[in-house]
């Protein structure tokens, strides 16, 4: 089914959908390297995402048009426990 916008070489639609801010509680982030790994995981799913991490509160806020589940899976694949 065509997306109604330009697609990349693999046929993935380049048109961005509605952006939503989603908040997650992520356990196991103990250093700057952890923050970078979580940020990179999100950016792999959505290169245009905005990511704000507060390690002291174990929170990750993501502004993205990707589904919550897709973002959660990306962070979990890096080895972090994503609670909500």
Residue 34 placed within a domain: yes
Based on the structure, what is the number of domains in the chain? 1
Residue 12 placed within a domain: no
Could you tell me which residue, 12 or 44, shows the higher pLDDT?
44
Residue 30 placed within a domain: yes
pTM: 0.77
Residue 5 placed within a domain: no
- Does the pLDDT of residue 21 top 90, yes or no? yes
Residue range of the domain that includes 29? 20-82
Beta bridge partners of 79: none
- Does the pLDDT of residue 14 top 90, yes or no? no
What's the mean per-residue pLDDT of the chain?
86
Residue 51 placed within a domain: yes
| Average of per-residue pLDDT across 14-27 | 81
| Average of per-residue pLDDT across 67-72 | 95
CATH number, domain containing residue 74: 3.30.70.100
Task: Find the helix or strand (DSSP H, E) in which 68 lies.
Answer: helix 68-77
């Amino acid at each position: 089914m065509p997306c109604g916008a330009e697609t990349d070489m693999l046929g993935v639609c380049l048109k961005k959908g509605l952006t939503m801010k989603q908040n997650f509680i992520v356990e196991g982030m103990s250093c700057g390297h952890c923050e970078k790994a979580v940020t990179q995981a999100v950016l792999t799913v959505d290169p245009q995402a905005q990511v704000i991490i507060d390690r002291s509160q174990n929170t990750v806020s993501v502004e993205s048009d990707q589904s919550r589940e897709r973002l959660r899976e990306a962070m979990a694949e890096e080895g972090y426990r994503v609670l909500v």
